[in-house]
Structure 1
Amino acid sequence: MEEKELEILHLVEENARLDVPTLARMVDVSEEKVNGILAKLQEEKIILSYNAVIDWSKVDDHPGVTAMIDVKVTPQRGVGFDEVAERIYRFSEVKALYLVSGAYDLQVVIEGKTMNEISNFVSSKLSTLDSVISTTTHFQLKTYKHDGVVFDDGEEDKRIVVSP
């Protein structure tokens, strides 16, 4: 991969709202070259999507619950974990799915409206898959940092310190 392509990737990853003229100035190439590089990176599926990072805790009437589920599976002969991973990521509740090392094989990130909805997903959809041996569910309580963005509103903690 060329140096300019890597520079553009890093810039777009940090701020996907940068327009082509700005990117061209930042990497010191023509706008046509930047358009060509972006088109190539999208065609090669290196750039998959342009997303915003949203602090949903500040949005009224958005009672969402996020859970990370560790899953132990039996890999399938000839396809390893890919086949069971594909079955899992096709569920609409699944926001992310990772093959991980350690005690578990897969980590599934799902979103639901309530903890009960997530519980139903685990018990009726995920754990019933033939390859799934066990699951452990962790509920997200607070986000401190996501995709390199710190979730800090800058307000000082005004609680009184109490010590014994």
Structure 2
Amino acid sequence: MTEKERELLELLEKSGRMSEDKIAMMLDVTVEDVTSMIQKLEKERVIIGYSTIIDWSKVNTSESVTAMIDVKVTPKRGVGFDEVAERIYRFKEVKALYLMSGTYDLSVVIEGKSMSEIARFVSDKLSTLDSVISTTTHFQLKKYKHDGIVFEDRDEDHRIVVSP
């Protein structure tokens, strides 16, 4: 990977909506070079997709519930954790799945319409998988920061400065 490609990735990671013209200017290359680099990186699946971060708590629709589920599993000979991870990430409720170090093996992030919907997912789908030994579910109460973006609008500090 070239240095320009690395710089391009850093720019896109900060703002996926940046125009190719602006990127070309910032990297000191032509627009055609930027287009070519992006196509190459997409083809190689270095760039997997583009997403927008939305603060759903500010949208006047029914909010969803997000849960992080720690899962202890028995890895299978020859495939390790990959086989059970693939079975888990195929569920439509699963938004993210990570192999972890520590007490639990997998961390699953899921979204549902209610806590009871998430409970049904855990009891009916996740816990019934052969390799799953145990689960611990944590419900997200408030999102402060996600992917480097702070969600809370903080006003200026209005405290009075006290000095000796």
TM-score by length of 2: 0.93
Distance 1:134 1:156 in 2: 45
> Corresponding residue for 2:47?
47
User: What is the CA deviation profile of residues 77-124 of structure 1, one whole-angstrom value per residue up to 9, with x for unaligned ones?
Assistant: 100000000000000000000001000000000000000000000000
Alpha-carbon separation, structure 2, partners of 1:157 and 1:127: 47
Match of 2:112 in 1: 112
CA distance in structure 1 between the aligned counterparts of 2:88 and 2:156, rounded to whole angstroms = 41
Specify every segment of 5 or more residues in structure 2 that has no aligned partner in the other structure, as ranges.
Answer: 159-164
Residue 154 (structure 1) shift: 2.4
**What displacement does 1:153 show?**
1.6
Could you say which residue in structure 1 is the equivalent of 2:128?
A: 128
Separation in structure 1 between the aligned mates of residue 103 and residue 157 of structure 2, nearest angstrom: 37
Q: How does 1:1-164 map to 2 (within 5 A)?
A: 1-155=1-155
Q: Sequence identity, in percent?
A: 66
Deviating above 2 A after TM superposition, structure 1's stretches of 4 or more consecutive aligned residues are 154-158
Which whole-Å CA distance do the structure 2 matches of 1:102 and 1:68 have between them? Answer: 15
SS across alignment from 1:75: coil
- State the Cα RMSD in Å: 1.3
Amino acid at match of 1:18: M
Q: CA deviation at 1:63?
A: 1.8
Residue 52 of structure 1 aligns to which amino acid in structure 2? Answer: T
Shift of 1:11: 0.4
Q: CA deviation at 1:6?
A: 0.3
Q: Which amino acid aligns with 2:43?
A: E
Q: Normalising to structure 1: TM-score of the pair?
A: 0.93
For 2:11 and 2:24, the matched residues in 1 are separated by 11
**Deviations for 1:109-162, whole angstroms, at most 9, x for unmatched residues?**
00000000000000000000000000000000011110110111224799xxxx
8 Å contact from structure 1 (residues 56, 62) kept in 2: no
Whole-Å separation in 1 of the counterparts to 2:41 and 2:64: 33
C-alpha distance in 2 between matches for 1:14 and 1:77: 40
Does structure 2 conserve the Cα–Cα contact (< 8 Å) formed by 1:144 and 1:151? yes
